[in-house]
Amino acid sequence: MTQTAEILKTPTSAAPESIKKCAELAQLVERFVDTKGEYDERIPGLHMSSLKAPISTPNCFYVLSVGMILKGSKRLLIGGKTYDYEAGSMLVTSIDLPTSYEIGAVSKDNPFVSLSLKLSPAILAELLAEDVSTLKPGEPYGFDAAPEELIEDFERLLRLLDRPAQIAARAPLLIRDIHYLALTSAAGNSLRSLYAPGSTGHRIRQAVKWMRENFRETITIEQLAGIAHMSPATFHRQFKELTSFTPIQYQKRLRLYEAQQFLMRGDGDVNSAAFAVGYVSPQQFNRDYKRFFGDAPGRVTKSFKQSLRDRLSAETDA
């Protein structure tokens, strides 16, 4: 993982009781993940992970979500900055953001444990009752010490897995409360600015959303600026301030990520993957893929596919 000169610490001022509750919640997560450390989603948007071997991924996307590390730590490159993200901290990600991370010093007896919940733009919009249109977008993510209320909501949500008949009636209430806690936390400023209708951040987010849905298409700054109702120069500057990438760089990372998923699913060969994500030159695709993932796409063998699954099992996690 490419690192910046300075390694930043995320907030570690969680109360002792919160740290204790995180450790207890980690034990609960271990009950619900399989032998590969993955969770078969029974509550939509809920993701849990227990990783027992070091992993590193140079290119993934964190999605709109709130997550916590319950045990262990990860080194995370996000928004052009590198953080040591530790147990007891929460991360709120407000847009799909190119990310890389490393998780080390883990083993079968000392796993890395985390969980996250994908957030709903519709619920966030409903909860934004006040006018926050003057808020500046700032960074599209935020860290904070995980509050006890959030930990308790996640615990109640997980315990519903033992009562599947209650999930439909009770999970939506807990999920809505988790949205509220994320939105009102110190880590939630980006949510408040990006999901307030009419705000500058909201307009940029609409362009990001369009890019995510149309990553195969050839794009121009003028086209994206039109979606955001900004001048091309203003859009380009604010997009880069928000994501740490130019729109073209963002699209390239998104295409490579989608190509990786294409190959993982076994949907076709390397050339098919290149064309499927919008490349016109398989040779250029091969060069870009190797630069980002450290290996040629043609080397996605059965064993390598399994390795990638292990890497990606926590991609939307805390």
Where does the pLDDT of residue 316 fall: very low under 50, low under 70, confident under 90, or very high at 90 and above? very low
- Residue 18 identity (one-letter amino acid): S
* Angle formed at CA 132 by CA 126 and CA 137, multiple of 5 degrees: 105
Where does the pLDDT of residue 133 fall: very low under 50, low under 70, confident under 90, or very high at 90 and above? very low
- Confidence at residue 6, expressed as pLDDT on a 0 to 100 scale: 63
Q: Is the pLDDT of residue 27 over 60?
A: yes
Separation between Cα atoms, residue 76 and residue 79, nearest integer Å: 10
Task: Provide the Cα torsion 127, 129, 134, 139; round to 10°.
Answer: -10
Where does the pLDDT of residue 16 fall: very low under 50, low under 70, confident under 90, or very high at 90 and above? confident
Where does the pLDDT of residue 261 fall: very low under 50, low under 70, confident under 90, or very high at 90 and above? confident
Q: Is the pLDDT of residue 165 over 60?
A: yes
pTM: 0.82
Where does the pLDDT of residue 3 fall: very low under 50, low under 70, confident under 90, or very high at 90 and above? very low
Q: pLDDT for 70-113, tens place per residue? A: 999 899 888 778 888 888 999 999 988 888 899 988 898 999 99
Kindly give the pairing relationship between strand 7-9 and strand 81-86.
parallel
Q: Locate the domains of the chain by residue range.
A: 7-195, 247-317
Q: Looking at the chain, how many residues does it have?
A: 318
Where does the pLDDT of residue 4 fall: very low under 50, low under 70, confident under 90, or very high at 90 and above? very low
Separation between Cα atoms, residue 286 and residue 276, nearest integer Å: 14
Q: Is the pLDDT of residue 130 over 70?
A: no
- Confidence at residue 303, expressed as pLDDT on a 0 to 100 scale: 45
Domain 247-317 architecture: Orthogonal Bundle (1.10)
The per-residue DSSP string of the chain comes to ----SSEEEPP----HHHHHHHHHHHHHHHHHS-TTS----SSTTEEEEEE-S-EEEEEEEE-SEEEEEEESEEEEEETTEEEEEETTEEEEE-S-EEEEEEE-S--SSS-EEEEEEEPPHHHHHHH--S--TTS----SEEEEEPPHHHHHHHHHHHHGGG-GGGHHHHHHHHHHHHHHHHHHSGGGHHHHHHSSTTSHHHHHHHHHHHHHHTTTS---HHHHHHHHTS-HHHHHHHHHHHHSS-HHHHHHHHHHHHHHHHHHHT-S-HHHHHHHTT-S-HHHHHHHHHHHHSS-GGG--HHHHHHHHHHHTTTT--
Indicate the CATH number for domain 7-195.
2.60.120.10
Say which range, 23-37, 123-137, 281-295, has the weakest mean pLDDT: 123-137
Q: What percent of the chain has pLDDT over 90?
A: 49
Say which range, 155-159, 186-190, 223-227, 286-290, has the weakest mean pLDDT: 186-190
